[in-house]
Chains A and B, each alone.
Chain A
Amino acid sequence: MNFLDSIWLIPLFPLAGAVVMLLLGRKLDPQVKAGHGPAPLKAVVSLLCPGTVLTSFVLSVGAVAQLAGLPEKVHQVVQFTWLAGLPFTAQNGGMARFAADWGFLLDPLSSVMILVVTGISFVIHVYSIGYMGHEGGYYRFFGYLNLFVFFMLMLVLANNYVLMFVGWEGVGLCSYLLIGFWFHKKSAADAGKKAFIVNRIGDAGFLLGLLLMFAVFGTARFLDVNQALASGRFTEETAGFGVLSAMALLLFIGATGKSAQFPLYVWLPDAMEGPTPVSALIHAATMVTAGVYMVARSNALFRLAPETSTIVAVVGAFTAILAASIALVQNDIKRVLAYSTISQLGYMFMACGVGAYWVAIFHLYTHAFFKALLFLGSGSVIHAMSGEQDMRRMGGLKDKIPITHGTMLVGTLAIAGIPGLAGFFSKDEILWQTFSNGATAVYVVGIITAGMTAFYMWRLMAMTFYGASRADAKVAAHIHESPRVMTVPLMVLAAGSILAGWIGVPKLWSALPDAFRAFEHWLAPALGAEQAQAAAEHAAGTEWLAMGLSVAVACLGIFVAWHFYQRRPEKADAVRRAAGPVYTTLLNKWYVDEIYDFLLVNGLAKGGGSALVSFDNRVVDGGVNGAGWLTRLSSTLSIWWDTWIIDGFVRLFSFSVKLSSYPVRILQTGSVQAYALVFVLGAVMIFGYYLTR
């Protein structure tokens, strides 16, 4: 089978699953049919939806395998032209047309993405069968999840920015639907709204960048844009902020919204209101990485806009340390992981900012494994704790839920950057790239953040699994390991967290054959390999030193956490009290939400509300009143017209008759003699006529 030409099947299967759930789901919902044999029908959902994703995964594997066989690792399939617009003159002087295709592009970058998306999605689907098994709206959950996979695949497989934007919006929609899955809970509904609205702000930037792209290049297709950039017409804008930098910045604003960077990250912690599989899939592994993907896809553009790239790196670094600082003190297990996600995304943007795009994608790929693992593990913990999410009420779970503990330990070590696990390779490479490209400040921030990451992750482990149990007695009695349908995905992801990194080992480990660096080579055609050359210029010694430093920092972080939370827990309280205001600020997330609320939400709501009210009263009601007044006016005019002009005509006639009757009336004297006189007068006249003839 020609997988390459059937790329369109890859997103089709999840879409079909979503449509089936939409149309028939109610009949398959166990809650709806409570009482009579829901189990086989529930199984339909359980088999269908993960099955579609599995099919997509298999098709993706086939397509990627065939792609690898092509000499030029690019395969574009255009199904049809979707939006055909009017022609206009582009900045390059040529005639362009606002047109967007419904087309798919499979190249090394998108191939990595589809494998990650379908693979991780499948694992999480399987996990959800267990996690959401007793929830209402089972079919709805899987329908939304499938719909999300469809949109994500559209996003990564699109061959042009417009179709990508379709997927972009679609995943935002699914994120809203899934965050607010338990919509009867106000906090969940609000969180969904917040996510969508904050995303929207970023999307405005994306759209502007897209339109600017059309204006400058006349096209939005990736390959065409890259071609135009490489043609030499555009030079690197080192001298300042030019049109390319502006374009890149606008696109990056879109990425900030989607990938939760400062200042548009505020929705991600609130998004933890959704079910844990949602947090794992959308807000760890896939959706939030869409921004990174987009920047990597536009690498040709960003390379020519050094100002914007700097901004990207700085924003990434700032976000990373900000989020890590908040994660240090959070007590909700999922919140810690959410801020951790924001922080790791910051790392990815750091890498993009210094030009090491393949490293960003590498970190994206490894992060998908261990973050999904950590989230699913936390879900398992919550499931075991009968819904408890506050770590202060956990503890001592190590022996009670061993599989969960073991897999989460693997995930923690991976994210901390312990050598041998996946996180080490990708994070270390990022730090090395920032250092070797001269962004020293970014590097320092990255190192500090790495230490903080190790600290808060081990703190999480310590508070959750080790030490004495602080759980409620009733809850403690129910603690049980999750069913196999949930633990097997954990084990799969744990294996991935260990093994996934071994395809991107640093060149420094020259002992290993080049096959272990396959990731970089695979992505080189799509992302450019020059940066890799630049990195190699530094002395090997410096690199070993940097590597050692990052490992040391990670170990330090773990040690500090172990010390304060396992050896001497009371000291943690002492530090907390001593830190006082600092602690409170961190606990309250630097009051960013409150500032936004005050400045924007309330300001807009109040001011906008009163503005709208006065608008309604003056303009809208004024319009209606004005229409009423006009009607009365026109009726008055009509009355006047009718009374004076129309009736006037009639009265004029009658009046003229009356007027003309006056002289005529005089003739009617009633006197016969007068009539006789008229006879004689007539005779006079007749004679007179004959006289003068």
Chain B
Amino acid sequence: MLTDTLLFYFFAAVTLGGGILTVTRKSAVHSAIALIASLLGVAGLFLLQQAEFLFAVQIVLYVGGVMVLFLFVIMLVNLDQAARERQFNKQWWLALACVLAVGAEVMYFLKKGAAAFRLAPSPAAATPGGPGNTQAIADVLFSEYLLPFEVASLLLLVAVVGSVIMAKKRI
């Protein structure tokens, strides 16, 4: 119990801290590193919620794929000039205000409905050797959610083609 709590707070701090750093750093590389940290924090949180498959996917895909891609692009695009310029645009104060307003409202909602979420999640009945999280996901994914799965693959295909075309010098 205690471990869970501590781990939660640790991973939460990493996530949020990484997020804040991402948003505020001048150098894009720094932001990317901070984002990686944040994503790792999220992965940890997944693990705490006993979503092991997603934990793995998060690290492999997000950190190992998306962030690498980001870093490649950062390197490709010369951002030194951008780092010397003003970082925040003219509407940052309005943006902050709105965000804080939304935050306030959301917090209010959550506080109002807090009673509904008091129940601590019961520990999952994990039988060793039995079907694990991955198994459970696979069971549902390829039976019930087969169509979205195929569509997702199509989406990925489109994304691949699109990004290649976008990035080409001459089409």
Residues of A within 8 A of B (CB): 671, 673-674, 677, 680-681, 683-684, 687-688, 690-691
Contacts and interface: CB of A to CB of B under 8 A. Distances in A.
Contact of A691 (B91, B94, B98, B108): B108
B101 interface: yes
Contacts of A690: 109
A677 B93 CA distance: 11
A677 B98 contact: yes
Contacts of B109: 687, 690-691
Interface string B95-137: 1001101100110110000000000000000000000000000
Contacts of B101: 684
A688 B91 CA distance: 22
B99 A688 contact: no
Contacts of A674: 91
Which secondary structure dominates where chain B touches chain A?
A: helix
B105 A687 contact: yes
Contacts of A687: 102, 105-106, 109
Given A673-B89, A673-B91, A674-B91, A688 B98 contact: no
Contacts of B98: 677, 680-681, 684
A691 B108 CA distance: 9
Given A684-B105, A687-B105, 12 more contacts: A673-B89, A677-B91, A677-B95, A680-B95, A680-B99, A680-B102, A684-B101, A684-B102, A687-B102, A687-B106, A687-B109, A690-B109
B106 to A, nearest CB: 7
Contacts of B102: 680, 683-684, 687
Contacts of A681: 98
A693 to B, nearest CB: 12
Interface in B33-75: none
A410 B110 CA distance: 156
B96 to A, nearest CB: 11
Contacts of A691: 105, 108-109
A214 to B, nearest CB: 103
B94 A677 contact: yes
A663 B138 CA distance: 55
A669 to B, nearest CB: 9
Nearest to A683: B102
A540 to B, nearest CB: 148
Nearest to A673: B89
B73 to A, nearest CB: 18
Contacts of B91: 673-674, 677
* 4 pairs of A and B residues whose beta carbons are closest in the complex: A687-B105, A680-B98, A684-B101, A684-B102
A690 B105 CA distance: 10
A684 B91 CA distance: 16
Contacts of A680: 95, 98-99, 102
Nearest to A676: B95
A681 B95 CA distance: 9
Contacts of B108: 691
Contacts of A677: 91, 94-95, 98
A673 B90 CA distance: 10
A224 B98 CA distance: 116
Contacts of B89: 671, 673
Contacts of A673: 89, 91, 95
Contacts of B106: 687
9 contacts: A673-B89, A677-B91, A677-B98, A680-B95, A680-B98, A681-B98, A687-B105, A687-B109, A688-B105
Contacts of A684: 98, 101-102, 105
Nearest to B100: A684
A671 B102 CA distance: 22
Nearest to A669: B91
A677 B91 CA distance: 9
Nearest to A684: B101
A680 B98 CA distance: 7
A680 B91 CA distance: 13
A493 to B, nearest CB: 134
B130 to A, nearest CB: 43
A277 to B, nearest CB: 124
Contacts of B99: 680
A681 B108 CA distance: 17
A683 B98 CA distance: 9
A210 to B, nearest CB: 106
A270 B101 CA distance: 124
A675 to B, nearest CB: 11
A236 to B, nearest CB: 121
A267 B25 CA distance: 132
A681 B98 CA distance: 6
Contacts of B95: 673, 677, 680
A677 B98 CA distance: 8
A314 B102 CA distance: 130
Nearest to A686: B105
A682 to B, nearest CB: 10
Nearest to A687: B105
A632 B98 CA distance: 67
A690 B106 CA distance: 11
A311 B106 CA distance: 129
Contacts of B94: 677
A599 to B, nearest CB: 107
B159 to A, nearest CB: 20
Contacts of A671: 89
Nearest to B91: A677
A441 B31 CA distance: 152
B55 to A, nearest CB: 30
B144 to A, nearest CB: 32
A430 to B, nearest CB: 133
A673 B102 CA distance: 17
B40 to A, nearest CB: 27
A402 B99 CA distance: 151
A127 to B, nearest CB: 129
Interface string B15-43: 00000000000000000000000000000
Nearest to B101: A684
A28 to B, nearest CB: 113
Nearest to A682: B98
Contacts of B105: 684, 687-688, 691
A191 B121 CA distance: 143
A681 B101 CA distance: 9
A691 B95 CA distance: 21
A687 B105 CA distance: 7
A267 B87 CA distance: 124
A538 B99 CA distance: 149
A674 B98 CA distance: 12
A671 to B, nearest CB: 8
Nearest to B105: A687
B92 to A, nearest CB: 10
Nearest to B112: A691
A683 B101 CA distance: 10
A96 B94 CA distance: 104
A191 to B, nearest CB: 113
Nearest to B99: A680
A687 B109 CA distance: 9
A690 B99 CA distance: 17
Nearest to B106: A687
Nearest to A674: B91
